[in-house]
């Protein structure tokens, strides 16, 4: 069900065949054949949500209406966004970005041109305030595709967005 080719991440939309806004039932047989079942949790907005996670490949979060709202890809899912991949170091990301802005917020890295993806850092950096305080050889653990426009709203006045 996932591809072994180098799959492109499309912010806000998809990674490979997995698409934001699709019904989870389109993929459920694949997960059930692997004895992977959803776990329920309550979001920060007190919404009931479900997550299906497959090893070090991916995690899909969907709502009570079975609509996929986020997809997280891990180290074993061969994919990229503008050549940025899971397990890439901060220094490599900075090099790829050259002089383009990078936003660090709440243990995640964002890019001003799209708030449809987040690069996730290890949990041990949850309380770190700036990206400068994280070692350059640290690697992102995963990439999440979703709608993070609320981050844009937070930083808009500081970045002239």
Task: Write the DSSP assignment of 60-96 as a string of letters.
Answer: EEEETT-BEEEEEE-TTS-EEBTTB-TT-BHHHHHHH
pTM score, whole prediction: 0.89
Paired sense of beta strands 7-10 and 79-80, if any? parallel
Q: To which H or E segment does residue 42 belong?
A: strand 39-42
Q: How many CB atoms lie within 10 A of CB 136?
A: 13
Contact call for residues 107 and 121 (beta carbons, < 8 A) = yes
If you average pLDDT over residues 156-161, what whole number do you get? Answer: 56
If you average pLDDT over residues 17-43, what whole number do you get? Answer: 91
DSSP state of 153: H
Give me the chain's average pLDDT, please.
Answer: 88
Q: Domain map of the chain by residue range?
A: 7-73, 82-159
pLDDT band at 42 (very low <50, low <70, confident <90, very high): very high
pLDDT above 90 covers a percentage of the chain that reads 56
pLDDT band at 137 (very low <50, low <70, confident <90, very high): very high
Q: How many CB atoms lie within 10 A of CB 66?
A: 14
- Mapping DSSP to helix (H, G, I), strand (E, B) and coil, where does residue 83 land? coil
DSSP state of 45: T
How many Å is the Cα radius of gyration of the chain?
16
Q: How many CB atoms lie within 10 A of CB 63?
A: 14
pLDDT band at 156 (very low <50, low <70, confident <90, very high): low
pLDDT band at 5 (very low <50, low <70, confident <90, very high): low
In this structure, what token pair is assigned to residue 62?
């969907």
- Mapping DSSP to helix (H, G, I), strand (E, B) and coil, where does residue 31 land? helix
Residue 8 CA to residue 21 CA, distance in Å, equals 18
């Amino acid at each position: 069900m996932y591809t072994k080719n180098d799959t492109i991440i499309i912010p806000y939309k998809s990674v490979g065949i997995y698409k934001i806004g699709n019904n989870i039932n389109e993929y459920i047989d694949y997960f059930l054949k692997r004895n992977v079942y959803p776990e329920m949790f309550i979001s920060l907005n007190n919404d009931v949500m479900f997550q299906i996670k497959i090893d070090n490949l991916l995690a899909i979060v969907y709502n009570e209406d079975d609509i996929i709202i986020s997809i997280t890809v891990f180290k074993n899912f061969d994919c990229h966004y503008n050549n940025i991949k899971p397990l890439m170091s901060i220094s490599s990301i900075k090099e790829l970005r050259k002089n383009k802005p990078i936003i660090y917020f709440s243990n995640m890295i964002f890019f001003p041109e799209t708030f449809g993806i987040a690069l996730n850092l290890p949990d041990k950096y949850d309380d770190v305030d700036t990206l400068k305080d994280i070692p350059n050889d640290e690697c992102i653990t995963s990439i999440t595709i979703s709608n993070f426009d609320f981050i844009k709203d937070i930083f808009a006045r500081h970045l002239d967005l």
